[in-house]
Structures are given as structure tokens and as C-alpha cells.
Chains A and B, each alone.
Chain A
Amino acid sequence: MIRRVLVANRGEIARRVFATCGQMGIATVAVYSDADEASPHAREADYAVRLPGNAPSETYLRGDLILDAARRTGADAVHPGYGFLAENAEFAAAVLDAGLTWVGPPPKAIAAMGSKLEAKALLAEAGVPILPSWTEPNDVSEFPVLVKASAGGGGRGMRIVRAKRKLAEAMAIAGREAAAAFGDAAVFCERYIPNGRHVEVQIFGDTHGTVVALGERECSIQRRHQKILEESPSPAVDDELRTALCEAAVSAARAVGYVGAGTVEFLLDPDGAGRDQRDNSAGGDQRYNFAGGDQRCNFYFLEMNTRLQVEHPVTECVLGLDLVRLQLLVAEGRPLPFTQTPPMRGHAIEVRLYAEDPANGWRPATGTLHRFAILGEENAFAPLSHAGVRVDSGVADGSVVSVHYDPMLAKVIAWGWTREEAARSLESALTRATIHGVVTNRDLLVRVLRTPEFGEGGTDTAFLDRHPEVFPPLLTSREDQALAALAAALTGAAARRRTAAWGGLPAGWRNVASMPQIAVFDTPWGRTEVRYQLHRDGRLARWSAHIDDELTVDVAVVRLSPDEVVFDGAGVRRTFRVHTEDGVSYVDFLDGSVALVEVPRFTLPVAELPAGSLVAPMPGAVGRLAVTVGQEVAAGDLLLTLEAMKLEHTVHAPASGVVTELYVEPGRQVEAGDVLAVVDSRSHDQ
């Protein structure tokens, strides 16, 4: 019997496992890197062991240190979460060799599924349909193809290639990324189906020979091949297709003697393109109806994930099961409490809230999360017992989002009796969330939930390419932008008022009417100047916002405090909440949220950057230098690469010229805005 579990992971998944352990009376052990010292997962465990350093290779990927931590804390089981060592067969074996319980599938099953290439071959033999794939660039006979890493998951390293001449370079880059992320540079190409749907089946096996499929999840809405929205059941799957998918998934699991929680991923090909051009793809030629439609489709095995998935909560909500509890029971050698799929109830949708800027190439965002509050946090880490919202988060007020780990802040899951109800409560929870300090994809998620196509269930992997309208922030109305800026200006004034040297005198008072008070903000929509004048009793007399043009909205201030202002516009009252931290005002109201950076009235004179300076677009580590000082470069030439979040970002010459300065070397950690190099284009002109 398990009495003390060490979770070899961090963030929300560590907390998720701890929550179930707490309910089951199992003691918990956390491991934490230096950057995570103050993080909730490290605080909440009964024991916590430091893993010195920050890079995953120094910390959460160090199986030896983790086993040592288990020994020192008396843990008798190890739960790997997802990512890091979750699909590392050697680590699983080492855990078992140390006499501990491994809360996961047998190492052999992990190894069998660890290579996507080998897994595909294995599944083809078992009669599961697969897509054609190639390992040599020269063998590829059709385009587009998807370049994939054989190891690992999470979409890392994946690239679509549409022409042969680009293939070799894409495979080389993918190989480097894969090597960095998973320690395995093997990559391959697979037929790319542009508007396929990603549907996966949760399976569970026990040591008594039972393997059960626990329904499907649709995860088609992806960015850069990483899921951002998952739901169960899939709107594309009817009972017939579900049965076929589940049968295929169970046979895949049986093929490797699977035990524990796993996920078999499939691609639904809506128009059968993948099938018609098939050459070496295996499987039957049965076609299935999309749910509720008469379009025909095929499905193909993609890969099997031998771990608990990020998106497991949607399955938990529709089945009313605690999958972590099942994992622990199975690890203890107990039989599953069911031998058939329990009935599904209602509909669950999960979104992944990331610290990233979708409108800016999904650039990862870092910083201090000053405030983080979402309605539903009280329902964390457990299947919902009533319709509503659940929030599994790895962060809390004050958490620092660093460059070291995946930028996912939380998963927000809504469960309702219908898909529409779930979508509505999810949209509402996201809209009303308070997220201050770090840019997130929240607005994009809300906009996705609001698209009619999502409402109709029309999701596929090309959804975001087809919907550029989901990328702008929610706050696009000029009037609301002006009001948000006014709210920041007035609450700022109210805050200053509270500590004002002039005590009880009215703010902004003038016996001779003079110039307005001015507050200037840098905003997502550009520089905004708010001018306001107060009455002799301190009430708002006049105001205007200057964005592109002068703009004002006829509003009265009903209530004003440093945290909140209530405007009355044409008899309608609206509340704007404002929180200011380090000169940034975070304004939240029902129609949007925005961070306004106040431009200080005075700045110290500073030396300007030399012309041609290139600054780091994001925090990260310098990868390769492609040039040397003194080298002539043409516009667009690669200068150097930056590695952040396991992705390689390139920095190119903005114009032709000579590299006059290189301030960095490979491996150097840089902050956003640091000067990397100077390209002098004048010297080139001469």
C-alpha cells in the first residue's frame, strides 16, 4: 500500500497529484528547483526537497537526484506527472529497481511507445490505421508533410514543410530542438492533413488484464501543434465512431501490455484525403460519419502517450472519476473498479491558460504574476460534482513566471449538461478572471469560445489559421479603451490622494482654472494621454482621452477608490477594477482587461542606443552566433539564435551593413530588451 508519494514534477500537475493524495490519506513529497522555491507545489507538499539549479537538465530531469529525494523523505512511490521524466523508461525502471512503486505504465510499455516510429510500426501490425511516414528527406514523395520528433511530445519540434527544398533544414532544426528537449535527435516526416481533427482516447489498464477505454477527447484547437482547448465528448464523434476509436485504442494498449493511464491519439481525416492517396498506410477501409452529419471520415493512429495527459480533467468531469486515484489504485495492484466504460454525463471543455502573447507569434511571456484569481478555484484538482468551473493552476498571487519551464499557468475546465452550457460558463470564468502581471492567451481563448464555428463544433487543427479574428484583444472599442485609461488615471489619482501631503484639501483644486491633469499610458493600442479636470470639490469635471484623436465619453463618476471606479454613462453603471503594481495599472471590466503602463512625468536622461542596435525580443539563452564582429551582412541574414521555451528564435540583420558589436556569446542568458548586437548600415553605404 502506498503511504508516501513523491511527485517528480512541478506546477499544477504536482498540485493535482497532491490533492488526490490528500484525500486518500497519502503523504506527499515535492521536489523543487531554485526558481520554484516559493511556488505553490513546493509549499503544499508535506515534504519538499530542493533540486539545485533551474534548467530542467539540472533539476526535474535528474532521476538520480529525485530517487535520492525519495530515499531521504521515505517516499514509497513516485508519480511522474506529465512531461519531464514521465515517459522515460529508464527512470521508470530505476524507480522500480530502487524498490519503489512507479505510478505509471511498465517501463517496457513506455519504451515501446517512446519512439513514434516504432509505435506506428507496432500498431500497423495490430491493424490500427496509420499515416505514411519517412525518415530520410530524399525519400519523401509528397507534400505537405509534418516533421516530427520521434521522442517526446507536446508538439515540440513539429514543423509543416510544403516544399522539398526546405525539408532538410527543417529536419535539422527539429532534430536540434528534439535533442535539446528530449535528448533524442531522431525525427521523421508524416503525411500532413491540414484540416484534420485531433481526437484521442483515454485508456486505463490494470495488472489484472483489464483495459478499458474511458471515452474520447477532442484536442483539435492547437497552436504550433500544442493543444490549447480540449473537450469531451468530441462533437465530431458519434457512438459508432466512438466504438471504433475505443476498440482501436484498446488494441493498441493491449499490443504493449499496457497498465495504468494512457492516451491513444488519433487524427480524424474529414474528407478522406489521407486515405485516398494512401500508399503504405495500413488499416481497414471503413469510413465513419461525423456526429450529426453525413460527411465521411477516416481515422489514423498518431501516437500513444504513456502517462496522464494535461487534459485529463475533461474526462474526469464527464465520467465523474478521479484518474489520479485510479492511477494510485492500479499502481498498488488493485483491479479497476469497472470493466467497461462508465456512462458519460454532460460535456466538459478545458482551456490552457498560457503566459504568452498570441498576437506576437505566441511569444512566451515572463514576469511576476501579481494577481491571479479565477472564479472556480475552489473547485480545483477534482472532478466537478455539479455544473460549473474547475481551475487547476500551478501559480498563485506573486508567482514568478520564468523562462525555465512551460509557460502554462492554469487549466480552466467547465462542465455542464450541454456543450453550450459548458462553453458559456468557461467563457464567463475567463472573461472575469483577474490575471495581472503577465501577458496571457486569455482573450484569444474567450474569442475562440465565442466563434460561431466553435459553437457548431467545427474544430480542426487549422482552426486558428482560419480565424485570424480571434487574435486581437477583447478590448477593441475605442470608447472602452478611453474609459479604461480614464479609470487608471482616476484610480491613480485616488491612490495619490490617500497619501497626499495636502491632506484634506480637494485634489486638483485650482482657484484659477488652468491646464488639465495629465496621465500618459503606454497601451496595447498605442500611447494614450488622459486629461482630466476636477471640480472644486474634487469631482470629475471634464476629461478627454487622446489616442489617435481626441475622444471623450460622457460619463459621471459614481464611486471612486484606489481600486475601483464606477462610471455612469447615459444611465448605465459599469464597474472598472484597477490594480496598480510597479507603475502598471491593470484594468478589468466585463468587456475587457488591459495593462496600462504609466509613462512617468520625468525620466532620467539616458544615453540612446546606437543606431542599428538589435535587442533581445524576449528573455532566453543565446544559442548560436552566425556572424563575427566586422562581418558584412545583407538584410535578413541570420545573426544569431535565441533559445527560449525550447524553441529556437532567430535574429536577423534588419538592413545590410557591418556587424560592429556582438555583446553576447552562446549560452548567455539575456533579458528582453538587452542589446545583442549592432549592425551599422551607414558604414556599408560608404
Chain B
Amino acid sequence: MPVLASALDPRSAAYAENRAAMLERLGELEAAVTKAREGGGEKYTNRHHARGKLLARERIELLVDRDAPFLELMPVAAYGSDFPVGAGIVTGIGIVAGGPCMIIANDPTVRGGAVNPYTLKKTQRAGDIALANRLPMVNLVESGGADLPTQADIFIPGGRVFRDLTRFSAARIPTVAVVFGNATAGGAYVPGMSDYTIFVEGQAKVFLAGPPLVKMATGEEADDETLGGATMHATRSGLADFVAADERDAIRLARDVIRRVDGASTAGAVPPDPDAPAPRFDADDLLGVASADLRVPYDPREVLARILDGSEFDEFKPLYGTALVTGWARLHGHPIGVLANARGILFSEEAQKATQFIQLANAASVPLLFLQNTTGYMVGARYEQAGIIKHGALMINAVSNSRVPHLTVNIGASYGAGNYGMCGRAYEPRFLFAWPNAKSAVMGPQQLAGVMSIVSRQAAQAKGQPYDEEGDASMRAMVELQIEQQSAALAMSGRLYDDGVIDPRDTRTVLGLCLWLASRKAPAHAADPAFGVFRM
């Protein structure tokens, strides 16, 4: 295969400027992630430890295989909202007993692990990923239940979490609930709907109503253990399948369950090839590749040269529709088709080239990687007349109905319908990640402010009123700033429009893991429609 060359000059001023800007964005990401990692803060962390309990991340680290990679998903959920960064849960894909699993862990140090609207959305997205990639689901449960002030946003949509659990079961994807503490009211249905349940002795509290509510409702006086302790559920109600001596023992049991059942959940998964050749160029230079100024397009081949096996890239139609680079490659041994914006704008040729390429990938059953850096489809009379909408629709049609796994990384701009054509969130890629410099919006901030200014000016003219130029300037500045902030990667990630903001240097690893997950296919016995396993 042809090997990509690099024209990147690490001594150039542009490189230095790009790198400085990227490091600044990475600093912001790290600050946000630190907030998530700190959970409920020192006081609650210490209190939790003092009770002899493990933190959510400690539970996860113990659950996953030693030295295995762990991809945390949506770490900065709720960033920019009124809720704590991370949204009170930690979720990600870890390797448990040799198999990848979706892990969801409540963080009980964050408001008792209460579920707020972001928690719910993050949980549901984790469920979508698990279902699409047939990942066994391990819930590490310790949550006080719904955040009552926001119950109106949680209660009705929240039912989906329990529905999903049993649909996993029906799809023959195992689900395990490990209960470390509270799992009350609605939360009780997480173990209730799981294939396997493990309760920690002396800690698990699983009931529809606790002692005060029972007293209010029926006058009965009963303690926590009688209503919902591990031993009670293991010996009387049958809700607990295993009683664990302590938290560590519970994690041991969960690993044993996964070890037994994971093999049946997938067929033919292809792990990353240990012998795949590394890229010929240093991933560290990815920090200097992406333009500090999004209006300056850059060559995505500089990115590809740093993430593809051996930097080898077999470009398809290199002379046609050159603002979109398409071609074949391998990444950690997995064959992929790549679509990457080269000069921002998508013209009719690019749209048609993409359409053909997507069909070819489907014909060959090769997953597709979309590297977004687009300002959208070209506008203007000439292009409208040439059928840019029709050609854009071709591409969106192809993306929408493509059956191969899609992975999307926003490495710059993702504006307008370009976001759709390049497999934005609404087009359900298996995974969608953004670099810290990325922005997503209906259009660029200046354009948007400018459009608003023109529309206002026209309205003033129509009414015969004088236009307030001073007010216009401040309005434009304000709108630009607002759009700038809203479209930034961290803000988008906070709203859960992606699966996480990643360090550009991690791109190859993240994609390699995702391609492995995407190669998990339903085994024959999962094809028949079935009920989830009924808990008896």
C-alpha cells in the first residue's frame, strides 16, 4: 500500500501556534476531567473511605483486568450545566476476564449517587453503545435514586433504563448488577432486571420503600436489613443470586460471572492485532497538526499518517472531489474506509464521491471512519443550480442507510449539514469523539452573527427605521461569543452530543478499541426473538 508522506514542519511558527492552542484546550479538558474525578470532593470521599467502601473508580479498576486499557466514556457529562461534572456516574469500556464490557458505576460521593437528567442521558447512551456493540453490561450500583427536584425530567424517560436491561437479556447480552449500597425505589429495578445480581453483605439495601416510607404507608416497623439486606434477598426474596463477603469479593464474583457468560454474547470478534505496524510518524505531532484557527483548513493526511497502521493509505479517487479525502487503510489490523474533509467545504463532487465510497465500503463490509472538519455544503447560486442539495442528500442518504459500523471523530469544525453528511451524532455512529479544538454548530459564529445582523438590518429597513449600528456591533459580538462557547468541544460533550473529548494522541488507541468492539457480532442463538431471562 502507498505510504503517506508528511509535510509537517515541527519547527514552523504555525506548528508552534497550533500546538500551544491545543495544549491550552487539553488543559481545559484536564481541568474538567479533574472535577469529574474528584466526585463529591474530599469530604465525601474521605467519609466513603472511612466506611470501608471503595470509590466508583476504585471499583472499576478492581473489576477490569490488570494492565488492560479502559476507555472512559462521557467523562465531562453535565459540563456547563448546574449539575456536577461527570453527572454522578462513571462509565466506560473495560476488559473483564478477557472480554470487553460496558461498566456503569454510580459515584455515591456525588449527592449520594442521585440520578439527574444528565445521569439518565449518560446511562442511556452507555446502554445504546453496549447494545450496538453487544457488550455485557456491569452495573456497580450505589445510588440514592432520583434527584427529586428534577424528577419531572427523569421519571418518565427513566423507565427506559429498565426496559433496556431486559432487552439486553433478550438479545442474549448478559447483564450483571453488583449492589454496594442503596438501590431503592426505581433503583431497585436495576438488580431486578439484571441477569445476575451480587449483593454485598451488610451494605446492599434494595427495597421499594425504606423504613420511614413503610411506616408512613402501612404503619409497619421494619429495619433496613429486613426490608432489603443482602442476606434477606439471598435467602428469602431470591433477588440476590450471590452474597459477597465484602466489596472486593463482590467484584471477584462479578468477574467470575463475566468469565462464564461473555463467550456466548458475541461471535467472531477481532481484537486489535498485536503485530500491526505502528504509524511511521510520531503521534505527538498531532498536537501541532490541527489549525489553531478553525478557519484555516489542514490536510487530514497528516492525521492519517499518525493513526493508520504503517501510515499506509490507499487513496480512492484522489483527483476527484479533492476537498474530501477517501481511501482504504488498516488501523490496529482492522480494515477501514476513511472519509476526511480536506478543505472544509463539501461540493457536489465530494458528496458524490462520498456516496460511492460508502456504498463500496458496504459492499466490502468494511467499517468507516469519518474525520470531520467541515464548514458544510457549498452555498451560492452556481452550486444550488448544480444541485448541491440533491448531492448532499445523496451523501446523507448513503450515511443514514449504511450498514457497516461508523466511527466519527470531529478533528476541527462540524458545521451545518456537513455534520450530517459526515455522520454526526444524529446519524448514529457506533462512537463519536471530538478533539479538544473541535466545534459543532449550525454555522460558524461569525456567519451566524452576520446573518442575524443582516436579517435585523433588513427588518429595520422594511419598517423604515434607522439601524442601530452600535447595537448591531455589540449584538454581533455577544452572539459570536455565545455560539463560540456553545459549539466548543467541552460544551458539546457536556451536553452529551459526543462520547467524549479525547487527546489527539489517543486517537489511534481509541479507534483501535472501538473497531474491536464494532467487530462483535450477534451469535446465531441470539437471532431468535426472546424474552429477557425472568428473575425467579
Given contacts A504-B272, A505-B69, contact A511 B510 (CB under 8 A): yes
Residues of B within 8 A of A501 (CB): 65, 68, 95, 98-100, 271
Chain B residues with Cβ below 8 Å from A602 are: 248-249, 251-252, 255
Among B66, B67, B274, chain A packs the most CB atoms within 10 A around the CB of: B67
Given contacts A509-B69, A605-B245, A605-B249, whether A504 and B512 have CB atoms under 8 Å apart is yes
How many B residues have CB within 8 A of the partner chain? 46
The segment from B299-307, B351-359, B365-373, B497-505 that touches chain A is B497-505
B63-89 with Cβ < 8 A to chain A:
65-72, 75
Among A500, A508, A511, A519, contact of B72 (Cβ-Cβ < 8 Å):
A511
Task: List chain A residues, Cβ under 8 A from B506.
Answer: 509, 511, 536
In the bound assembly, the distance between CA atoms of A349 and B205 in angstroms comes to 71
Interface centre among A503, A517, A536 (most CB of B within 10 A): A503
Point out the residues of chain B lying under 8 angstroms from A497, CB to CB: 67
Of the candidates A496, A504, A506, the one whose C-beta lies within 8 Å of that of B273 is A504
B170 contacts partner chain A, Cβ-Cβ < 8 Å: no
In the complex the two chains form, is A507's CB within 8 Å of B67's CB?
yes
Chain A residue at minimal CB-CB distance from B37:
A512
Contact with A along B504-532 (1 / 0, CB 8 A): 01100110110010000000000000000
- B67 and A517 within 8 A (CB): yes
A310 CB, min distance to chain B CBs, angstroms:
47
Known contacts A515-B57, A602-B251: does B67 contact A500 (CB below 8 Å)?
yes
Beta-carbon nearest neighbor of A495 in chain B: B67
B276 within 8 A of A: yes
**Chain A residues in 8 Å Cβ range of B512:** 504-505
Chain B residues, CB < 8 A from A507: 67-69
Q: Classify the secondary structure of B's interface with A.
A: mixed
Q: Which of B33, B100, B248 contacts A512 (CB 8 A)?
A: B33
> Complex: how many Å from CA A503 to CA B517?
13
Instruction: Tell me if A514 is interfacial: C-beta within 8 Å of chain B.
Output: yes
* A501-B271, A504-B272, A511-B506 known; A601 vs B70 contact (CB < 8 Å): no
B58 nearest in chain A by CB position: A515
Q: Is B275 at the interface (CB under 8 A from chain A)?
A: yes
Interface centre among A496, A507, A511, A515 (most CB of B within 10 A): A511
Looking at the complex, which one of A508, A515, A536 makes contact with B67 (CB distance below 8 Å)? A508
Question: What is the CA–CA distance of A509 and B64 in the complex, to the nearest angstrom?
Answer: 12
Q: How far is the CB of B502 from chain A (nearest CB, A)?
A: 6
Does A43 lie at the interface of the complex (its beta carbon under 8 Å from any beta carbon of B)?
Answer: no
Bits for A412-443, please: 1 = Cβ < 8 Å to B, else 0: 00000000000000000000000000000000
**Which chain B residues (177-226) contact chain A, with CB distance < 8 Å?**
none
**Cα distance A501–B97 in the bound complex, in angstroms:** 9
Check A511 against B500 for contact (C-beta < 8 Å): yes
Q: Mark A183-222, 1 if CB is under 8 A from B, else 0.
A: 0000000000000000000000000000000000000000
Residue B332 interfacial (CB < 8 Å): yes
Contact of A502 among B62, B72, B271 (CB under 8 A): B271
Q: Are A514 and B66 in contact (CB under 8 A)?
A: no
Measured between beta carbons, the chain B residues less than 8 angstroms from A512 are 33, 36-37, 72, 75
Bound: A508/B513 CA distance, A:
13
Task: Report the separation of the CA atoms of residues A508 and B71 in the bound assembly, to the nearest whole angstrom.
Answer: 11
Contact B61 A536 (CB under 8 A): no
Tell whether A496 pairs with B67 under 8 Å between CB atoms, given A501-B99, A511-B502, A515-B57: yes
B297 beta carbon closer than 8 Å to chain A: no
Q: Residues 228-268 of chain B: 1 if any A CB is under 8 Å from the residue's CB, otherwise 0?
A: 00000000000000000100110110010000000000000
CA distance A505 to B249 in the complex (A): 29
Neighbouring A residues of B500 by C-beta, 8 Å: 511
The B269-285 residues at the A interface (CB cut-off 8 A) are 271-276, 283
Are the C-beta atoms of B251 and A502 separated by less than 8 Å?
no
Contact bitstring B92-113, A, C-beta under 8 A = 1, else 0: 0001001110000000000000
Inter-chain CA distance A536–B75, complex, in Å, is 18
Decide: A504 and B332 in contact? CB cutoff 8 A: yes
Residues of A within 8 A of B503 (CB): 511, 536
Q: Is A334 in contact with chain B by the CB < 8 A criterion?
A: no
Query: Chain A residues near B37 (CB, 8 Å)?
Result: 512-514
Chain A residues near B274 (CB, 8 Å)? 500, 503-504
| Interface membership of chain A positions 465-501, coded 1 if the CB is closer than 8 angstroms to chain B and 0 otherwise | 0000000000000000000000000000100110011
Q: Is A510 an interface residue (CB 8 A)?
A: yes
Q: Among B33, B70, B272, point to the contact of A503 (Cβ < 8 A).
A: B272
**B252 engages A505 (CB within 8 Å):** no
Partner of B71, one of A511, A536, A601: A511
Q: Is B333 an interface residue (CB 8 A)?
A: yes
Contacts of A536 in B (CB 8 A): 503, 505-506, 509
Given contacts A512-B33, A517-B67, A502 and B95 within 8 Å (CB-CB): yes
Whole-angstrom distance between the Cβ of B517 and the nearest chain A Cβ: 11
CB-based nearest A residue for B253: A602
Contacts of B249 in A (CB 8 A): 602, 605
Measured between beta carbons, the chain A residues less than 8 angstroms from B36 are 512
Q: Give the nearest-CB partner of A534 in chain B.
A: B67
Q: Roughly how many angstroms separate A507 CA and B67 CA in the complex, as a whole number?
A: 5
B77 to chain A, nearest CB (A): 12
The chain A residue sitting closest to B73, CB to CB, is A511
Contacts of B70 in A (CB 8 A): 509-510, 514
Contact A510 B69 (CB under 8 A): yes
User: Could you tell me the distance between the alpha carbons of A512 and B251 in the complex, rounded to whole angstroms?
Assistant: 22
Shortest B329–chain A CB gap in Å is 15
Restricting to A524-564, which residues have a CB under 8 Å from any CB of B?
534, 536-537
Find A504's partner among B251, B276, B502 (CB 8 Å cutoff): B276
**What are the residues of chain A within 8 A of B283 when measuring CB–CB?**
537
In the bound complex, CA of A500 to CA of B95 (Å): 10
Q: CA A299 – CA B100 in complex, angstroms?
A: 77
Inter-chain contact A502/B68, CB cutoff 8 Å: yes
Q: Which residue of B lies closest to A497 (CB)?
A: B67
Chain A residues with Cβ below 8 Å from B502 are: 511
Closest Cβ–Cβ distance, residue A561 to chain B (whole Å): 14
Closest beta carbon of chain B to A490's beta carbon, Å: 10
CA distance A504 to B515 in the complex (A): 12
* Residues B61 and A515 in contact, CB atoms below 8 Å apart: yes
With A502-B68, A505-B513 already in contact, the answer to whether A514 and B272 are too (CB < 8 A) is no
Q: Please, which residue of chain B has its CB at the minimum distance from the CB of A602?
A: B252
> Residues 319-361 of chain B: 1 if any A CB is under 8 Å from the residue's CB, otherwise 0?
0000000000000110000000000000000000000000000
Q: B245 and A510: CB pair below 8 A?
A: no
Whether A500 and B332, one on each chain, are in contact in the complex, defined by CB atoms closer than 8 angstroms, is no
| B408-430, CB < 8 A from A | none
Which B residues are in CB contact (< 8 Å) with A500?
Answer: 65, 67-68, 274
Residues of B within 8 A of A517 (CB): 66-67
Which residues of A from 592 to 608 have beta carbons under 8 Å from B? 601-602, 605
C-alpha spacing A537/B507, complex, angstroms: 12
- In angstroms, how far is the closest chain B Cβ from the Cβ of A327? 57
A596 smallest CB distance to B (angstroms): 16
Task: From B71, B275, B276, name the one whose CB has the most chain A CB atoms within 10 angstroms.
Answer: B71
**CB pair B33 A508 closer than 8 Å:** no
**What are some 21 contacts across the A-B interface (CB < 8 A)?**
A493-B66, A500-B68, A501-B68, A501-B95, A501-B99, A502-B516, A503-B271, A504-B273, A505-B332, A507-B68, A509-B69, A509-B70, A511-B72, A511-B500, A512-B72, A513-B37, A514-B60, A534-B67, A602-B251, A602-B255, A605-B245
A residues lining the B interface (CB < 8 Å):
493, 496-497, 500-515, 517, 519, 534, 536-537, 601-602, 605
Other 8 A-B pairs with CB < 8 A, given A504-B271, A504-B333, A536-B503:
A501-B99, A505-B69, A505-B516, A509-B69, A510-B69, A513-B37, A514-B57, A515-B61
Q: Measuring CB to CB, which residues of chain B are less than 8 angstroms from any residue of chain A?
A: 33, 36-37, 57-58, 60-62, 65-72, 75, 95, 98-100, 245, 248-249, 251-252, 255, 271-276, 283, 332-333, 500, 502-503, 505-506, 509-510, 512-513, 516
- Give the 10 A-B residue pairs with the shortest CB-CB distance, closest first: A509-B69, A503-B271, A602-B252, A503-B272, A501-B98, A504-B272, A512-B72, A504-B274, A507-B67, A605-B245
